[in-house]
Amino acid sequence: MSDEDLELLKFYHEEGIDCTLTEDEEEKKVEKVKDNNPIQSPAIQAEVQKKEQQSMFPSDWIIEARKLASKCVSVDELRSVVRSFEGCEIKKTATNTVFSNGNPNAKIMLVGEAPGANEDLQGIPFCGASGMLLNKMLNAINLDRTKVYISNTVFWRPPGNRKPTDLELDMCRPFVEKHIALISPKILILVGGIACYSLLDNTKTISTLRGRFHTYTNQYLSRSITTAAIFHPAYLLRQPAQKLLAWEDLKQIREYLDNTHNCTNV
């Protein structure tokens, strides 16, 4: 044994290190600390939580999302729970969590699809080209972002602006549902096919769902909410001829707001 090895052994001995651990044993040690020591330092708690999360399956994360969502009693609490949720893979490639924009006391809530590049950078829903057209659509029926509340079916940008997968939608849905229940709008407007697919009816296209009102409810709501489906502004930018139908839908929403006693002048 060299002098250097001897020095190293002496150092281990003085530090009380009397064995080496394999990765498995490291994991068992974290488990043991967790079982034996109810009062743990924040660093150990974080390590234990990280290890637990690494072994979670997607289905566990959906259950976790439901548990977390059901406990939230305010929009601020929900925002912070969503920000710290680690189940959704798209969070890893996103710059920001995109939670909401607009007036949380509004009687009108819009749910879009997913953040795009601008939204990801700024952390604000509908702040890019689609958002500009959405603003014009709202203005056309005397609404603006002070009178509506806006969120999406997922809170992180899917890479390359692809559509959110079923798993991503399933994982975020408990939060979206709780979000709707906490805002409790008089009318819910689903913006585009993906919002309809995730929240209203996953068997019908937006073309068959638009143009009429639906009733929406979820596990966190004690009542149903009148719901409309409108074309997504990104679709309208690609298919301007469809703006005619979009205008019909917006007029119908305005009429509904005018004729519902609580909603006059919103």
Residues that bind ligand URA (CB under 6 A): 112-116, 119, 125-126, 130, 152, 192, 234
Instruction: Indicate the residue among 72 and 114 with the shorter CB distance to ligand URA.
Output: 114
| Closest distance of CB 134 from ligand URA, Å | 8
Contact present, 145 and 94 (Cβ < 8 Å)? no
Instruction: Indicate the residue among 66 and 100 with the shorter CB distance to ligand URA.
Output: 100
| Closest distance of CB 9 from ligand URA, Å | 60
The CA distances from residue 71 to 173, 174, 176, in Å, are: 15, 11, 14
Instruction: Indicate the residue among 115 and 185 with the shorter CB distance to ligand URA.
Output: 115
| Closest distance of CB 49 from ligand URA, Å | 30
| Closest distance of CB 239 from ligand URA, Å | 15
Instruction: Indicate the residue among 115 and 174 with the shorter CB distance to ligand URA.
Output: 115
Residue 240 DSSP SS3: helix
The CA distances from residue 101 to 105, 119, 260, 262, in Å, are: 12, 11, 24, 22
DSSP string of 79-137, one letter each residue: HHHHHH----THHHH-SS----EE-TT-SEEEEES---HHHHHHT-TT-SHHHHHHHHH
Instruction: Indicate the residue among 185 and 192 with the shorter CB distance to ligand URA.
Output: 192
CA 36, distance to chain mean position in Å, is 36
| Closest distance of CB 202 from ligand URA, Å | 17
| Closest distance of CB 32 from ligand URA, Å | 45
User: 149: which strand partners?
Assistant: 102, 109
Instruction: Indicate the residue among 103 and 152 with the shorter CB distance to ligand URA.
Output: 152
Residue 152 DSSP SS3: strand
User: 216: which strand partners?
Assistant: 225
Closest CB to ligand URA: residue number: 112
